[in-house]
Chains A and B, each alone.
Chain A
């Protein structure tokens, strides 16, 4: 009964490279959320996806960031041309339903370091 699985746990990228973060939700969950935690800051919402659809991307930076949740496979958060300011912990959460009273379960996070 695996929970939310994120990989890699740690990722180091040079400035200008691409970062791909993967998230496999709890089995049976079709709703995925991505959050970012900057050093000394609280978690900030980035994007909410259902299978093959982006529902709410109001927290995503307008450029370089994209997310997908294909019919098959994990959700992917992609950051192109990374900069030092992208260094953060990125957390994925999933829920069984997208209803407002639904509990969210979080993964261990991917810690991205841009050098």
Chain B
């Protein structure tokens, strides 16, 4: 059974700092990994999607890497801003037999606070 862990559970940094969020998964047989942002009481915004054949994806100040063999992904945020404050979720789509491969397995998230 796939399990996704995100460390730390919460992180507080001063504005302007670069930071790294970590995601680990127990089963390396995945199709892809997706990073989301969730604001309090809101839905999920997709940030980056990394296919299993890819090593990293970049979007603006965000860079996500994937090391499938070790079951790890990192989300790097450069020059953090107060507007980056949110919960960041990592989710993997595993390779299962039958219909199970359509499921995303989520971590519990890292709650980021960027202090002005």
Contacts A41-B108, A42-B4; is A104 near B46 (CB within 8 Å)? yes
Stretch in A14-22, A62-70, A79-87, A105-113 with 4+ CB within 8 Å of B: A105-113
Cβ of B76 < 8 Å from any Cβ of A?
A: no
Stretch in B14-22, B28-36, B59-67, B77-85 with 4+ CB within 8 Å of A: B28-36
Residues of B within 8 Å of A6, CB to CB, are 43
Contacts A42-B4, A43-B89, A58-B99; is A91 near B104 (CB within 8 Å)? no
Which of the residues B32, B102, B107, B109 comes within 8 Å of A56, measured between beta carbons? B102
B44 & A91 in contact (Cβ 8 Å cutoff) = yes
Cβ of B106 < 8 Å from any Cβ of A?
A: yes
Which of the residues B31, B44, B46, B105 comes within 8 Å of A101, measured between beta carbons? B31
Task: Report A53-99 residues with CB < 8 Å from chain B CB.
Answer: 55-56, 58-59, 91, 93, 98
Interface class of chain B by DSSP: strand
- Cβ contacts B90-109/A at 8 Å (1 or 0 each): 01010100111111111111
B32 & A48 in contact (Cβ 8 Å cutoff) = no
Cβ of B41 < 8 Å from any Cβ of A?
A: yes
Q: Which residue of A is nearest B102, CB measured? A: A48
B99 & A109 in contact (Cβ 8 Å cutoff) = no
Residues of B within 8 Å of A42, CB to CB, are 4, 89, 106-109
B89 & A56 in contact (Cβ 8 Å cutoff) = no
Which of the residues A104, A107, A109 comes within 8 Å of B104, measured between beta carbons? A104
B105 & A45 in contact (Cβ 8 Å cutoff) = yes
Q: Which residue of A is nearest B49, CB measured? A: A103
Chain A proximity of B102: nearest CB distance (Å): 5
B43 & A100 in contact (Cβ 8 Å cutoff) = no
Residues of A within 8 Å of B31, CB to CB, are 100-101
A55 & B102 in contact (Cβ 8 Å cutoff) = yes
Chain B proximity of A32: nearest CB distance (Å): 11
